[in-house]
Structure 1
């Protein structure tokens, strides 16, 4: 196994982490932004107000996107394990 192989695997793994986590992070960002705008408009200065809507939005997005996320991770692991004999040389 060469350094190029290790670099390619690490690069693919990092890209997978970014690709799988991006939708959840974007949902959290958008909900936080909307709650912040709501707080600014209504002059509510409660810092803990954003936690419950964010948690619910992230939970719902995991329910909706969980199958896709698991499929992406499973395909990556299957690809790694199917090429395992190439990496041991």
Structure 2
């Protein structure tokens, strides 16, 4: 395996990780920001108020994007397994 191939495999894995994390975290961050602005406007300082909406948004995001994310991860792993003979030799 040449260094170029190793760097390319690492780049693809890192990009896939960024996509998965981004799709799951960004909606939760947006909801957290909205709830924080609501709490600041109403001066409600309840910690559990921001937790439940973020949890629900994360659950909905997993239900909505979970199959696509799983398919992307499985395609990457299948590509790695199929290319093992080419990478070793």
TM-score using structure 1 length = 0.94
Aligned equivalents of 1:23, 1:87: Cα separation in 2: 31
What does 1:35-54 correspond to in 2, within 5 Å?
35-54=35-54
Aligned equivalents of 1:13, 1:30: Cα separation in 2: 26
Report deviation, 1:4.
1.2
- Contiguous gaps of at least 5 residues in structure 2: none
1:62 maps to which residue?
Answer: 62
Spell out structure 1 runs of 4+ moving beyond 3 A.
none
What does 1:1-89 correspond to in 2, within 5 Å?
1-89=1-89
Aligned equivalents of 1:21, 1:75: Cα separation in 2: 17
Report deviation, 1:40.
1.0
- Contiguous gaps of at least 5 residues in structure 1: none
Instruction: Render the CA deviation track for 1:7-32: whole Å, top value 9, x for unaligned.
Output: 11011000000011211111111110
Instruction: Render the CA deviation track for 1:27-71: whole Å, top value 9, x for unaligned.
Output: 111110110011011110122321111111101100110001001
Aligned equivalents of 2:64, 2:79: Cα separation in 1: 25
